[in-house]
Structure 1
Amino acid sequence: MNTYEEKTIKRETIFEGKIISLHVDEVKLPNGNTSTREIVEHPGAVAVIAITDEDKMIMVEQFRKPLEHLLIEIPAGKLEKGEDPIECAKRELGEETGYTCEQIEHVTSFYTSPGFSDELLHIFLAKGLKKNSHLHLDDDEFVNLLEVSYEEVQQLIKEQKIYDAKSIYAVQYWQLIKTMER
């Protein structure tokens, strides 16, 4: 056994929903003691850094119930079972923004909250954007489409309107791209 590995002794499923499952695991710790871990299983997600030819970032404003307020975020969505992340990224970009892209490339993937969840988020960069259609939102999804300049994004961060990790990461990546283009 790895020095720090925790071996699962027992698993109790507390909840299974459309998006997540919640389990409570009893684990054996490296020192021989036992403890419990609350674990959220998530199928994974994608997010898209979409930059227009006019050097604006495509973002969506939506109400986030867990936070009880509006957030401005990069387009993102949940992976369907067995779905290729790049195909999911193209789908989510189209559904949430009405845009398609000529180029899309994987930037990075990271675990969003490894202390309690196995969600893996894949981030893509989309270029050569074309506005093709209206939004194709889920029945329970309501968003306001925004095209924001780099300066506007900085102000939205200061105002805590852009306040989630994936979108902050996207802005930092955009800044890196801009620096490298100089």
Structure 2
Amino acid sequence: MPQTPAAVDAHLSETLVSRTKLLQGHFLHVVRDTVRLPSGQEATREFVLHPGAVMVIALLDDGRVVLERQFRHPMQQVMIEFPAGKLDAGEASLLCAKRELLEETGYSASEWAFAGRLAPTIGYSNEIIDIWFARGLSLGERHLDDGEFLDVFAASPAELQFWCRSGEVIDGKTLVGALWLQNVLHGDWVLDWSHAPPVLSHLTCTG
């Protein structure tokens, strides 16, 4: 009988013994877990609990993609990124992707395709980022959050690839997004596109 993945990985897996909350911030929580190692000994693991996020690779009709420039405090510099944002409690991934694209860039899309998932910081966080592609874009009004400042611009895939190679783009999710974009445009990775109704932004919903 074939072994289950859990059985195959039993010699690598750790078992949770207890958890201590170290910090509960606005949306990030830091915990310290005590775990039992495969050897039977115990160890501690400190990491960040994250609600999850989405990233949107939005394709313009002229072949360019929508990008952002935003100051990131931990890095103390402006970063080039694909539009992205965290999931609200109970929010579906696609709804979040539509909301973030509209609120940050002003764009809405008539077609969407789920690409894959990204775990950007597996050593110290459980964050998962869902990668979405969008096309059939129409431009409206942005609805940035209070205290959110960013520039929206468009670039060709070739320009993005150059920036990834030169080191101007170092954001991990955007590097992975560039890989997806390259393979999709080359026809190596095929997406399943579907039409989806628009989603109102938080600003519109709350009046």
Is TM-score (shorter-chain normalized) higher than 0.5? yes
State the match for 1:136 in structure 2: 143
Amino acid across the alignment from 2:18: K
State the match for 1:29 in structure 2: 37
State the match for 1:147 in structure 2: 154
Following superposition of structure 1 onto structure 2, how do residues 83-122 of structure 1 map, counting pairs within 5 Å? Answer: 83-122=91-130
Deviation of 1:155 (Å): 2.9
Encode CA deviations 1:100-120: one digit per residue, 9 max, x unaligned: 000011100132222221111
Amino acid across the alignment from 2:172: A
Instruction: Give the secondary-structure state (helix, strand or coil) at the position aligned to 1:109.
Output: strand
Alpha-carbon RMSD: 1.5
Amino acid across the alignment from 1:179: H
Amino acid across the alignment from 2:65: M
Instruction: Give the secondary-structure state (helix, strand or coil) at the position aligned to 1:166.
Output: helix
Deviation of 1:16 (Å): 0.7
State the match for 2:20 in structure 1: 12
Amino acid across the alignment from 2:125: S
Q: Indicate conservation of the 8 Å contact 2:47/2:124, yes or no.
A: yes
CA distance in 1, matches of 2:118, 2:165: 24
State the match for 1:73 in structure 2: 81
Deviation of 1:70 (Å): 0.8
Bigger Cα displacement from structure 2, 165-174 vs 92-101: 165-174
State the match for 1:43 in structure 2: 51
CA distance in 1, matches of 2:119, 2:178: 18
Q: Indicate conservation of the 8 Å contact 1:70/1:161, yes or no.
A: no
Q: Indicate conservation of the 8 Å contact 2:118/2:173, yes or no.
A: no
CA distance in 2, matches of 1:86, 1:131: 19
Deviation of 1:4 (Å): 2.5
CA distance in 1, matches of 2:33, 2:46: 6
Count of residues in Structure 1 that have an aligned counterpart in Structure 2:
180
User: Any stretches of 5+ residues in structure 1 without a counterpart?
Assistant: none
Percent pairwise identity: 36
Q: Indicate conservation of the 8 Å contact 1:59/1:73, yes or no.
A: yes
